[in-house]
Chains A and B, each alone.
Chain A
Amino acid sequence: MSHKAIPLPERKRLREKKIKKHALANILTHWFNVGMWLLLLPTGIAIISSPRLNLSPQLVQDFFRNLFGGPANLIKFHSTVGLIWAFVLTFNVLLGFRRYFVPFAASRLLLDRDDVEWLKLKPLQMLGFMKDKELPPQDAYNAGQKLYMYVVILGTVGILLSGVVMTFHTLFPPVLKQWAQPVHWVSVFSIVAGLIIHVYMGAVFPEEKEAFFSMFTGEVSAWYARAHHEKWYWNKVREELEWEDRVEAELGEIARHQQPSGDRPETGQVTS
């Protein structure tokens, strides 16, 4: 990889330099989501009792039913926590729609040509083919993360809508409730399929250690950014340079304005 060519002192400097990756609002929403999922996923699995579908171990069902005192209480807990989750997420997205959601979606979510290339190459490389070919540089999130983000967003909407139908079941016709259950399950477990990799890459995989801590501090080192998210890094650098140029230009402008005014007494002296 390209970062191997970086000389040692430069690497050290890059390691110490921090780049902001996550806003505090996103960090808090992320960990709120984690907490709610920890409560909702096990209780949700314990609810699905249909022996014909056979989706949940009897042991899990019994454990949670006994813990909460019967299926009705378990469902009540699940739907109450679910409503809190749905309310806070909707509230956060609506509140931060222009400040966080739109910029995030516009700058970090869209797939570009490099991402398509990455998606073609990465699965093959994971299976052991085309190891010699270099992966295209990636944005703040790689193409796999971007794709997963779509699954999460769509899945969240699916969980939310179907959950509302099942919670307020007196208001909806049976056919909606019949479809709400598979929609809820598919949405959850599509997310879970990616979640396995998300949690592994985020919390266990050594190369991505910085990504894990960035979910607390919001920052990653410039070295990590350059090694893993090269396109994003150079964009950041370009932004920084542009900012510096702008500041320099503005300072120059101010200096130029100040010079004539500084000369004025002199010229005044000349005229007098």
Chain B
Amino acid sequence: MAQKKRSGFVIDVSRCIDCRACLVACSAENNVGMKYTRIWVRDLGVKGEYPNLQRTFVPYNCMHCDNPPCTEVCVSGATYKDQDTGLVLVDQEACIGCGYCVDACPYNARYLDHERGVVDKCSGCIQRLQIGQQPACVTTCVGKARLFGDLNDPNSEASIALKNARTVQRLDYEKDGVHTGPNIYFINGEVLEDASVLPRDPRYPAAEATWKEILVPAVLAGIGLSFVGQATFFTKQLLEGEKE
């Protein structure tokens, strides 16, 4: 049996010049509204002392985590981890745009499209992958800063770049039972210490938290009580026979 795919990005931070062609290509390919973008380039600012200055740009989007916290909170099942590609996708036909997942994502990689009333995010250009093409951001990148491929396949372009990298960083998040396992590898640069790219704690909206912490135990207790009561009477009925 073929090994399971683990689609991911390998991003060579040293090659990004913040031209943002990837943002444009992504928006055009995926019909992203003018107000929004699915992918970003984070500017870590100028570092060092003259004349040894250094400026790092970090292309940034959904990490297509191994254990995505966003799918953990989705009530309608609209957001899910695709079993074939390993991508984290949103079925916008099933999404109602409540934004539970937007708050849960430690990487702020999702946004609410208020016009369409749904959540949107990087889909790894699944429609292109299905016909054997690379994501739009990857093919458009002039500096070849963005690479995409199956990280479980040692011969993919991404895997080879990862193997030959000078430095490798993965913005992993592990805390309180959430362990994301992100599938973007930043290579050949220093990004980990900057707050603008580091993962934050997953947030749970008041409605979701109240639901989980208070409403579920209370209502399930009520149902349990009612069921036990009913079952007791039914058992009694069976044991003692029916009286009128």
Contacts and interface: CB of A to CB of B under 8 A. Distances in A.
Interface in B91-133: 91, 93-94, 96-100, 112, 115-118
Contact of B94 (A48, A71, A196): A71
A269 interface: no
B216 A178 contact: no
A182 interface: yes
A189 to B, nearest CB: 5
A174 B211 CA distance: 16
A127 to B, nearest CB: 10
B230 A53 contact: no
A99 interface: no
Interface string A244-270: 000000000000000000000000000
Interface stretch (B6-14, B162-170, B202-210): B202-210
B215 interface: yes
Interface residues of A, number: 44
B36 interface: no
Given A72-B93, A207-B244, A200 B234 contact: yes
Contacts of B75: 47-50, 53, 181
B72 interface: yes
Contacts of B93: 72, 75-76
B223 to A, nearest CB: 5
B77 A47 contact: yes
A98 interface: no
B76 to A, nearest CB: 6
Contact of A181 (B112, B207, B225, B243): B207
A189 B215 CA distance: 10
How would you classify the secondary structure of chain A's contact residues: helix, strand, loop or mixed? helix
B65 to A, nearest CB: 14
Contact of A71 (B77, B223, B230): B77
A75 B118 CA distance: 14
Interface string A142-163: 0000000000000000000000
B1 interface: no
A193 B223 contact: yes
Contacts of B77: 47, 49, 61, 65, 71
B242 interface: yes
A70 interface: yes
Interface in A210-249: none
Contacts of B152: none
B226 A197 contact: yes
A196 B78 CA distance: 31
Contact of A205 (B91, B205, B222, B233): B233
Given A50-B72, A72-B93, A207-B244, A189 B223 contact: yes
A47 B76 contact: yes
B230 A178 contact: no
B78 to A, nearest CB: 7
B219 A193 contact: yes
B229 interface: yes
Nearest to A194: B226
Interface string B220-244: 1011011101100110010000111
Interface of B: 71-78, 91, 93-94, 96-100, 112, 115-118, 205-208, 210-212, 215-216, 219-220, 222-223, 225-227, 229-230, 233-234, 237, 242-244
23 contacts: A50-B74, A52-B73, A71-B78, A72-B91, A171-B117, A174-B99, A174-B112, A177-B99, A181-B75, A182-B207, A182-B208, A186-B219, A192-B223, A194-B226, A196-B226, A196-B227, A197-B230, A200-B233, A206-B237, A206-B243, A206-B244, A207-B243, A207-B244
Given A177-B98, A179-B207, 19 more contacts: A71-B77, A72-B78, A166-B96, A170-B115, A174-B99, A174-B112, A177-B96, A177-B97, A178-B99, A180-B98, A185-B219, A186-B219, A190-B222, A193-B219, A194-B226, A196-B227, A200-B234, A204-B234, A206-B242
Interface of A: 47-53, 55, 61, 65, 70-72, 75-76, 126, 166, 169-172, 174-175, 177-182, 185-186, 189-190, 192-194, 196-197, 200, 204-207, 209
